[in-house]
Amino acid sequence: MPAGRRGTGRKGAALIAGALLLSLTACGGGGDSGAGSGSGGGKDKGTGTQQGKQSTAAVSILPKSGATGVDTSGALKVSVAQGRLTQVTVKNAKGAEVGGSITGGGASWTPSTHLAGGTKYTVHAVAKDSEGREAAEDSTFTTLTPKNTFVGYFTPEDGSTVGVGMPFSVRFTRGITSPAAVEKAIRVRTEPAVDVEGHWFGNDRLDFRPEKYWKAGTKVTVDLDLDGVEGRDGVYGKQHKTIRFTIGRDQVSVVDAKKHTMKVTQDGKVIKTIPVTTGKPGYDTWNGQMVMSEKLAVTRMNGETVGYGGEYDIKDVPHAIRLTDSGTFIHGNYWGGGAFGNYNASHGCVGLRDVRGGYDKSVPAAWFFNHSMVGDVVVVKHSHDRTVDPANGLNGWNMSWADWKK
């Protein structure tokens, strides 16, 4: 082969070897060659982060992934070492997120509410180290399935329209020994906004109301999120429901036991004055503010059910509206003769003139029944008895606001 050809071949081989060496050096990113101190420095020009180095942030999730029988409160915790949390997402199997907040400058995340029982959750957490490099961690766990449960029976009903005195009242099927946890799980929202506070009557009833009667037209929404709440040791709520109700027109009726009259007011104006009879001596009617909790077109009233032996048993009392749990009603009375507006003759109820069978819509009892709704207020004054117990019926208005909030 001619000498020129042999020289060209050697030069070509040298160029190929040089190209391979350059390629290997570039791919090495510096390595032992010390290229890290050069202009390229082995850094990604787009992010400025060290290539090939992992984030030093170490995310920790409790409970461990795959855990079962996890407690619904206090067990879920997310934290990070050598970094700060930037995102934590917790979802149930249906995709509903669990609220929570990052605290401690990004050191930890805690849920803002309890978890539901017997539910699978997924956790996704992201953190950054001091160089801005991200680290992520995922976990899946399932909460315990309670063996013992409780629910709350509430009033008023969803979708109802009620009077200005109606509290939202819940009676629980088990006595509650962790009232703060249960109360936290019941959230009351109003439109327009007004401060609403809860008050416990014993350990199985919780009522909510504002400081003063509701404003007419107020819309109330209650989130009853008891599912997973440990109300007492080993006993968990199993109820999750949203209740909405509306406050109707403002009607308050004032009974004067001394004058034997009742003035019915709407929006503060008297629209009708009705002659009444209240409790006779020894059977005086309670004083105070009483909220209508039930309306019955006709009912039976038997003295034995309220401790009065066989003094009376009337099987067809018309137009009856309950005011207390202990048996105080404001109702139609067809046997009272001339008592209405003149003297007190009842066993503690407020009586209005009526006819047997309640067929006459023009009599006072029928008019009042038809113009009243559950949640309206009846105020009794000038009776010789004491003020009604706030726990006797929906009558917490007889407590001061300071005592209510205790």
Give the tens place of pLDDT for each residue, 146-180. 999 999 999 999 999 999 999 999 999 999 999 99
CATH numeric code, 251-404: 2.40.440.10
Q: What's the CA gap between 403 and 406, in Å, rounded?
A: 5
Q: What is the mean pLDDT of residues 278-282?
A: 96
Q: What's the CA gap between 60 and 312, in Å, rounded?
A: 72
Nearest Cα residue to 275 out of 344, 175, 185, 376: 344
pLDDT of residue 308: 78
Band the pLDDT of 2: cuts 50, 70, 90. very low
pLDDT of residue 13: 38
pLDDT of residue 360: 97
Residue 105's contacts (CB-CB under 8 Å, 6 or more residues apart) are 84
Tokens of 127: 């953190």
Do the domains spanning 58-142 and 148-247 agree at the CATH topology level?
yes
Does CATH number 2.60.40.3780 belong to domain 58-142? yes
Q: Do residues 162 and 180 lie in contact, with contact meaning Cβ atoms separated by under 8 Å?
A: no
- Residues acting as catalytic residues: 331, 349
Cis peptide before 111 (omega within 30 of 0): no
Q: Do residues 165 and 395 lie in contact, with contact meaning Cβ atoms separated by under 8 Å?
A: no
Domain boundaries, the chain: 58-142, 148-247, 251-404
pLDDT tens digits, one per residue of 308-329? 777 778 999 999 999 999 999 9
pLDDT tens digits, one per residue of 183-240? 999 999 999 999 999 999 999 999 999 999 999 999 999 999 999 999 999 999 999 9
- What CA dihedral angle connects 288, 289, 292 and 296, to 10 degrees? 20
Residue 332 predicted with pLDDT over 80: yes
CATH numeric code, 148-247: 2.60.40.3710
pLDDT tens digits, one per residue of 74-126? 999 999 999 999 999 999 999 999 999 999 999 999 999 999 999 999 999 99
Residue 20 predicted with pLDDT over 60: no
